[in-house]
Amino acid sequence: MSNAETNIDKAPIIGLTGMRWPDGNKNDMFTMDKTQVHYIEAVQRSGGIPIILPVLEIFNSDTVRRQVSLVDAILIQGGIDITPSFYGEEPLPELDITCKKTDEFILEVIKVARERKMPILGICKGMQLINVAFGGTIYQDLKYAGLDSKSHRQSEDTITDTFHSINVEKNSLLAKLIPNKEKLNVNSYHHQAVKDLGRDLRIDAKADDGIIEAISFDGNAQWILGVQFHPEQLIRKDDEFKALFSEFVKQANLFKCK
Ligand code: MN
């Protein structure tokens, strides 16, 4: 048992945002709320207590504020494509399925978490949603970045293996979490990517083809990290990325004790 597990009564509560998921083969029926188990495991193995914040059908700022007030940090998991209207674009042909309700809800969660200055970790689509919340934009498909649509999508059954390298920016949050590594090997399972960076964000890492692979909040007021890869899968095989979750949970604890 780790120290974190022995101090269970004092462990910070991590809120994982849910996501609406199509019911069976009816793509327009978003009646399920899904969470990938490896995010839950990653939080627990790092000493946090995970709880799920389901996407609400009906909400306003007060409802979301009440939900978010129950947790010490927000983890935004990956998912389907982002509704382009949230970054001011019309759908392009290569856009895959989207769920407006999910995006609307998570953007509100991020807004509330920013007001409260809570730690936020966004993974894959979670990183892209952080970018949109800060006014940034998204490539609806890698094709629109001049790349092969499949160039960042390894097969799902190899997701615990690395797929491409990333170049880490000096002095970035990611560089502090995994020190002395200019290059890191990561997995990749996305066909969308960050286009224009949101205000007050900085780039922490890029792939060799220029695709943004990690972003963070540019300032000391709040701990916000977004990664395009899937550390919750990599840590199942290798400890290199465990620091992302352990620092996130540590930040949640600092927020809790404020
Ligand atoms: Mn990638």
Residue 25 confidence class, pLDDT cut points 50, 70, 90? low
Average pLDDT over residues 40-63: 96
pLDDT tier at 26 (50, 70, 90 boundaries)? low
> Six-digit token pair at 14?
């991590």
Asked if pLDDT for residue 6 goes beyond 70, the answer is no
The DSSP symbol for 13 reads E
CATH assignment of the domain containing 42? 3.40.50.880
pLDDT in the model for residue 23: 78
Q: Which of 38, 190, 191, 230 is catalytic?
A: 230
99 is catalytic: no
| Ligand 1 centroid – CA 140 distance (Å) | 14
User: Region 170-189: what's the mean pLDDT?
Assistant: 97
Q: Which domain holds residue 11?
A: 3-256
Per the prediction, the chain carries an average pLDDT of 95
Report the pLDDT averaged over residues 60-89. Answer: 97
Tokens of 235: 């840590």
| Mean local confidence (pLDDT), 149-177 | 97
**Bigger pLDDT: 186 or 220?**
186
Instruction: Quote the pLDDT of residue 28.
Output: 65
Segment 87-94 long-range contacts (CB within 8 Å, at least 24 positions apart): 87/132, 87/136, 87/137, 87/138, 88/137, 89/137, 89/138, 89/140, 91/140, 92/140, 92/141, 92/144, 94/140, 94/141, 94/143, 94/144, 94/149, 94/191
pLDDT value at residue 9:
86
- The helix or strand, by DSSP H or E, that contains position 246, with its residue range, turns out to be helix 242-256
Q: What percent of the chain has pLDDT over 70?
A: 96
pLDDT score of 180 more than 50: yes
3-state secondary structure of 223: coil
Helix (H, G, I), strand (E, B) or coil at 158: helix
Give the pair of three-digit tokens for residue 225: 């990290």
Q: Is position 124 annotated as part of the catalytic site?
A: yes
How many independent structural domains does the chain possess?
A: 1
* pLDDT above 70: residue 197: yes
**pLDDT band of 220, cuts 50, 70, 90:** confident
204 CA distance to ligand 1 middle (Å): 13
Average pLDDT of the residues in 237-257: 97
The two tokens of residue 15 are 């809120």
Closest CA to 121 of 258, 256, 250: 250
Q: From ligand 1's centre to the CA of 213, what distance in Å?
A: 6
pLDDT tens track for 118-138: 999 999 999 999 999 999 999
Give yes or no for residue 170 having a pLDDT over 50: yes
Q: Let me know: does 249 contact 12? Beta carbons within 8 Å.
A: yes
Q: Is 164 a catalytic residue?
A: no
Predicted local confidence at residue 1, as pLDDT = 46
**Residue in 108, 124, 190, 191 annotated catalytic:** 124
Residue pair 100/40 in contact by the 8 Å Cβ criterion: no
pLDDT in tens, 78-111: 999 999 999 999 999 999 999 999 999 999 999 9
Asked whether the CA dihedral 12, 247, 245, 57 is positive or negative, the reply is positive
